Structure 1
Amino acid sequence: MTPGARIAAAIEVLDEIDNRHRPASDALKDWGLSHRFAGSKDRAAIGSFVFDALRCKASAAWIMGAETSRAIVLGSLREMRQMSLSEVSALCSGEGHAPPPLSEAEQHAYTEATLEGAPPHVLGDFPEWLTMALGEDAIALGRALADRAPVDLRTNRLKGTRQKALTALAHLHAEATPLSPDGLRLPFTPDGRGPALSAEPAYVKGLVEVQDEGSQLAALLSNAKPGEQVLDLCAGGGGKTLALAALMQNKGQIYASDSDGRRLMPIFKRLERAGVRNVQLRPPKGGADVLADLAGRCDLVLVDAPCTGTGTWRRNPDAKWRIRPSSLEHHIDEQAEILEKAVSYLNDKGRLLYITCSLLRDENEAQVERFLASHPAFESVSAEDMATAVGQPELAAFASSLGPGLRLSPLAGGTDGFYIACLRRR
């Protein structure tokens, strides 16, 4: 495919996403299946254009003065890639499968339009209804969440040290992450993509796992110890389960469960590759209570709660345009139910770690405050005590100013957005 044809394809995919309200990954997959002449590099390039357009959808539309897929893609070429008018005009030649040439109005907008006078949600590239929910730093936070996310890896302590991983991945220019003691960060390739890890022995043999630095820190702050009984109540694909197993040195027991058994499926191969031996999977079985035997037994219950995912917009930019107020309300109710359930599994000295990948107070500090108000026997552990307990006192700098717990974000620490709170019996 020519570069212009890739732009035209990106516009077509964006139309599909907008008209049918589909996740970007599904629309891209279906486009690839129906256009089998497109090679892997073509599909990757088209996906990159689509995701860039979704990152800056509001500001790109403002710049170009229209909300069409064509306008958003054109605006994103300026906002995300800093392409000149001549470069874009060459792509939009109208020849072959390239988009039609830019009109005079489009050319003028591309070169002269600014974001001066734009409202906060346009400046921050997020849905207007979230302006208040994101707080006083909404614009700066939104801009940080519109950037491309780095490729972060976690060293698997069961297979080796971070130095060993850095050496194994030196040819990919891996660097140590600034906050996580187990983290590595890989630079982007020139086209904005990450490296192909499936061909790297360090990944294939389980020395490293793909995991954002913020997610690594969330697991670390659980202070899971060898020999403990741990329940990962919302395990999903198992990223934090694997991190817990490494912290526990394969000693003790981790019970990984999820209300949706399909989300647990990827964990099987990941456990084998990582050399994890202390995890029991507890997928749902009809109406049976698969966790009944754990009542009152656990030293730690980790609740990686379902949420709006506002902290992951760098990786899932289409998600921010699909979120609705009703989904926030649903998640708040669901989180409260899960927290209530989690309490029943704790022993007398057990602790509960509540995590979301959200940056909305209603899902984070307010949720914990509601829990504490209805459970006077519990208290929150201070950010300083959480950080000191795991030998990373510098993490106390991320104590939330909005209530209990810690907050991580691309604006404050260069990670995905995470909220972490530890609750224990008084």
Structure 2
Amino acid sequence: MTPAARLSAAIEILGDLITRRRPAGDAIKDWGLAHRFAGSGDRAALSGLVFDTLRRRASCAYVMGSEEPRALLLGMLATVRGQDVEAIAKLCDGARFAPAPLTEDERARLAAPNLDGAAPWVRGDYPQWLDGELKAVFGEDRVEEAAALSARAPLDMRVNTLKAKPEDVSAELAHLSPEPGRWSPLALRIQLGADGKQPPLTSEPAFAKGEIEVQDEGSQIAAILAAPVPGSQVLDLCAGAGGKTLELAALMDNKGQLYAHDSDVRRLKPIHERLQRAGVRNVQIRAPRGPVDVLADLENLMDLVLVDAPCTGTGTWRRNPDAKWRVRPGALAERTAEQAAILEQATRFVRPGGRLAYVTCSLLEAENAAQIRALLAKRPDFSVIPATETVLALGSRGLALREAALDLPEGLLLTPRRTGTDGFFISVMKRAG
């Protein structure tokens, strides 16, 4: 496909996902199935065009004075990729498979794109209804925090210490130029090129042997700060596909007992193969079975309960830029109700003197600090362990992380701007002995 044809296709795909309010990945996949002539390079280029536009959708619309897919793509070429008006005009020459020629208004806007007078949600590229939520957390810094969420994310890996050492894996993957993580001693990071294309990591021998898992450094930090102890009893209450379960098992050195549960058995499907590949032996999967309380025997016995709570995912917008335009106020209310119920359920299993770790990949007060305050009001036998203590699990890096992150009375908030990770809220509480 020519660059002009790719631009036309991207306009078509963007229109489909906006009209039907569907994930970008689904729209791109369906387009590819309907246009078999497009090669892998074409599909990668289309993904880049669409995702770059979604990252900056609000500011592109402001620059172009239109929310139409064509306007958004053209605005992205000028503001994100830095193409001048003549370069864009060459793509839009009206030839076969090319977009129609630029109008005089489009030329004028593309020649001098600017955000003068734009509202915070436009400059930060996030939905207007979330402005108050982000202001409550970041104040006047919300534009810069949100802008960092609009950048491309690197590819982070966690080294599985049950199988390998970070330095050995780094040498094995030297052809991908991995860098050590800034905070997590288990992390390796691959910086992506200008096209954002990720290497086929799952085809690497290190992956096949279970030596690495794809996992954001922020997610790794959350499990480390929960501080599972080898030989202890741990419950991962919202285990899902098992990303943090695998890390907890490695941190426990396969010693003790780790229980993995999720309210939706379908989310647990990938965990079985992942545990086997990672060489994990201390995990017992407790899948839901109708009305049966499969966790009843764990009540008041756990040294640690981890709640990786379902949330709006606002902290992962770098990786899922389409998600921020699909989230609605009703979804936030639904998630906060679900989180409160899960947190209350989790307290059942924490033994006296045990710990409860609450984690979200959200930046919103309602899903984070407010949930902790509400729980503590109902359960005065629980108290927050200050970040000055929890960060010590990271060794010498811990105090620097606390300085970089947003240290709240209820927990620690990581953000792309502050810590270079996805957005994560981490609160560790202790039950009175």
Q: Same fold (TM over 0.5)?
A: yes
- Residue 30 of structure 1 is matched in structure 2 by 30
Between the aligned partners of 1:52 and 1:291, the Cα distance in structure 2 is: 44
Match for residue 306 of structure 1 among 297, 304, 310: 310
Segment drifting more, 29-38 vs 356-365: 29-38
SS in structure 2 at match of 1:45: helix
- Fraction of identical pairs, as percent: 54
Deviations 1:235-268 (A, max 9, x none): 1111111111110111111111111111111222
1:407 aligns with 2:413: yes
Show the 5 A alignment for 1:334-349: 334-349=338-353
Asked if the contact 2:224–2:393 (Cα under 8 Å) also holds between the matched residues in 1, the reply is no
- Residue 65 of structure 1 is matched in structure 2 by 65
Match for residue 403 of structure 2 among 393, 397, 413: 397
Asked if the contact 2:169–2:206 (Cα under 8 Å) also holds between the matched residues in 1, the reply is yes
Asked if the contact 1:366–1:403 (Cα under 8 Å) also holds between the matched residues in 2, the reply is no
Match for residue 292 of structure 1 among 289, 293, 296: 296
Specify the code of the residue in structure 1 equivalent to 2:302: C
SS in structure 2 at match of 1:221: helix
Aligned-residue offset at 1:134: 0.6
Q: CA RMSD in A?
A: 1.3
- Residue 420 of structure 1 is matched in structure 2 by 426
Between the aligned partners of 2:191 and 2:157, the Cα distance in structure 1 is: 12
- Residue 357 of structure 2 is matched in structure 1 by 353
Gaps of 5+ in 2: none
- Residue 165 of structure 1 is matched in structure 2 by 169
Asked if the contact 1:154–1:211 (Cα under 8 Å) also holds between the matched residues in 2, the reply is yes
Asked if the contact 1:361–1:402 (Cα under 8 Å) also holds between the matched residues in 2, the reply is no
Asked if the contact 1:349–1:425 (Cα under 8 Å) also holds between the matched residues in 2, the reply is yes
Segment drifting more, 227-236 vs 196-205: 196-205
SS in structure 2 at match of 1:32: helix
- Residue 380 of structure 1 is matched in structure 2 by 384
SS in structure 1 at match of 2:307: strand
Aligned-residue offset at 1:398: 4.8
Asked if the contact 2:303–2:351 (Cα under 8 Å) also holds between the matched residues in 1, the reply is yes
Aligned-residue offset at 1:282: 1.7
Aligned-residue offset at 1:402: 4.2
Between the aligned partners of 1:94 and 1:148, the Cα distance in structure 2 is: 31
Gaps of 5+ in 1: none
Equivalent residue pairs, number: 426
1:110 aligns with 2:114: no
Between the aligned partners of 2:413 and 2:23, the Cα distance in structure 1 is: 27
Specify the code of the residue in structure 2 equivalent to 1:107: R
Asked if the contact 1:156–1:274 (Cα under 8 Å) also holds between the matched residues in 2, the reply is yes
1:365 aligns with 2:369: yes
Specify the code of the residue in structure 2 equivalent to 1:74: L
Deviations 1:352-393 (A, max 9, x none): 000000001111111101111111111100001101244233
Higher helix share: 2
Specify the code of the residue in structure 2 equivalent to 1:111: A
Asked if the contact 1:187–1:194 (Cα under 8 Å) also holds between the matched residues in 2, the reply is no
Aligned-residue offset at 1:88: 1.8
Show the 5 A alignment for 1:232-247: 232-247=236-251
TM-score computed with the length of structure 1 as normaliser = 0.97
Specify the code of the residue in structure 2 equivalent to 1:96: R
Between the aligned partners of 1:78 and 1:279, the Cα distance in structure 2 is: 51
- Residue 48 of structure 1 is matched in structure 2 by 48
Aligned-residue offset at 1:403: 2.9
Aligned-residue offset at 1:43: 1.3
Specify the code of the residue in structure 1 equivalent to 2:236: D
SS in structure 2 at match of 1:132: helix
Between the aligned partners of 2:430 and 2:80, the Cα distance in structure 1 is: 45
